[in-house]
């Protein structure tokens, strides 16, 4: 069972993006020696070549990911500033969710039944089941359509509305996941790192 880990420079200076790149290489090298698979799913580049503001990883071993979870420190002089100064550059490694996979819409996953409708509409509505209730079994999403006088037209419209509703639901869930992930960039706690790495 794999897990996802976000390496982030947070709101730190460009040296923190530089530190993310160095720590990522160190993490990947250690993973290879332990026969752990690490995949880069999403990379946000820093301002300088070869630096990363953040990297989203999929790691095949939750135990290995846990050993890298928390505040990390890359200890080295800044490559961008001259003279003596700060040598500790902090980044964060946080487990995160990438959200549920997008819903795959297939008509074979939809139960369509004719239903009688109440209310005004004349004798035809009362005697014939021209309205349609469409249920997407994997998600339990239901739409009912009775705007047309023919079952086939209501069925076609119900399937279209059901697909659109599932796509909107996926879009909302995806945006919520992205927003939650970006909030992790503000969770960096400097000091007391779980790991301090050096060149």
Query: Which tokens belong to 39?
Result: 């995949």
User: Are 91 and 113 contained in the same domain?
Assistant: no
Beta bridge pairs of residue 71: 92
Nearest to 152 by CA among 123, 181, 127, 128: 128
At 13-35, the pLDDT tens digits run: 999 999 999 999 999 999 999 99
User: Are 9 and 84 contained in the same domain?
Assistant: yes
The total number of residues shown for the chain amounts to 199
User: Are 95 and 189 contained in the same domain?
Assistant: yes
> In the structure, what pLDDT confidence band is assigned to residue 104 with cuts at 50, 70 and 90?
confident
Alpha carbon distances (Å) from 83 to 22, 74, 78, 79, 162: 22, 18, 9, 10, 63
CATH assignment at residue 136:
3.30.160.20
User: Are 131 and 153 contained in the same domain?
Assistant: yes
User: Are 124 and 30 contained in the same domain?
Assistant: no
> In the structure, what pLDDT confidence band is assigned to residue 97 with cuts at 50, 70 and 90?
confident
CATH assignment at residue 7:
3.30.70.1660
User: What is the domain extent for residue 124?
Assistant: 107-175
Considering the domain boundaries, does residue 129 fall inside one?
yes
Q: What is the 3-state secondary structure (H, E, C) of 43-65?
A: EEECCCCCCEEEEEEEECCHHHH
User: Are 91 and 12 contained in the same domain?
Assistant: yes
Specify the number of domains making up the chain.
Answer: 2
User: Are 189 and 94 contained in the same domain?
Assistant: yes
Considering the domain boundaries, does residue 180 fall inside one?
no
User: Are 46 and 127 contained in the same domain?
Assistant: no
User: Are 8 and 95 contained in the same domain?
Assistant: yes
Q: Which helix (H) or strand (E) holds 115?
A: strand 110-115
DSSP state letters, 19-30: HHHHHHHHHHHH
> In the structure, what pLDDT confidence band is assigned to residue 194 with cuts at 50, 70 and 90?
very high
User: Are 129 and 146 contained in the same domain?
Assistant: yes
Considering the domain boundaries, does residue 78 fall inside one?
yes
At 40-87, the pLDDT tens digits run: 999 999 999 999 999 999 999 999 999 999 999 999 999 998 877 789
How far apart (Å, rounded) are the C-alpha atoms in residues 49 and 63? 32
Given a cut of 90, whether residue 170 has pLDDT beyond it is no
Considering the domain boundaries, does residue 140 fall inside one?
yes
User: Are 136 and 55 contained in the same domain?
Assistant: no
User: Are 65 and 146 contained in the same domain?
Assistant: no
């Amino acid at each position: 069972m794999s897990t996802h880990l976000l390496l982030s420079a947070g709101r730190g200076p460009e040296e923190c993006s530089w530190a993310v790149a160095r720590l990522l290489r160190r993490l990947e090298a250690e993973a290879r020696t332990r026969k752990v698979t690490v995949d880069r799913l999403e990379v946000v580049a820093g301002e300088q070549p070869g630096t990363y503001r953040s990297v989203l990883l999929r790691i095949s071993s939750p135990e290995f990911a846990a050993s890298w979870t928390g505040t990390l420190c890359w200890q080295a002089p800044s490559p961008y500033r001259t003279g003596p100064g700060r040598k500790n550059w902090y980044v964060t490694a946080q487990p995160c969710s990438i959200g549920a996979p997008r819903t795959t819409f297939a008509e074979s996953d939809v139960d369509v039944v004719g239903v009688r409708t109440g209310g005004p509409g004349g004798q035809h509505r009362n005697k014939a089941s021209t309205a349609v209730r469409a249920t997407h079994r994997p998600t339990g999403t239901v739409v009912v359509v009775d705007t047309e006088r023919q079952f086939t037209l209501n069925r076609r419209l119900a399937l279209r509305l059901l697909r659109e509703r599932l796509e909107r639901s996926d879009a909302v869930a995806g945006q919520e996941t992205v927003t939650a992930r970006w909030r992790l960039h503000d969770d960096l706690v400097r000091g007391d790192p779980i790991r301090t790495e050096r060149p």
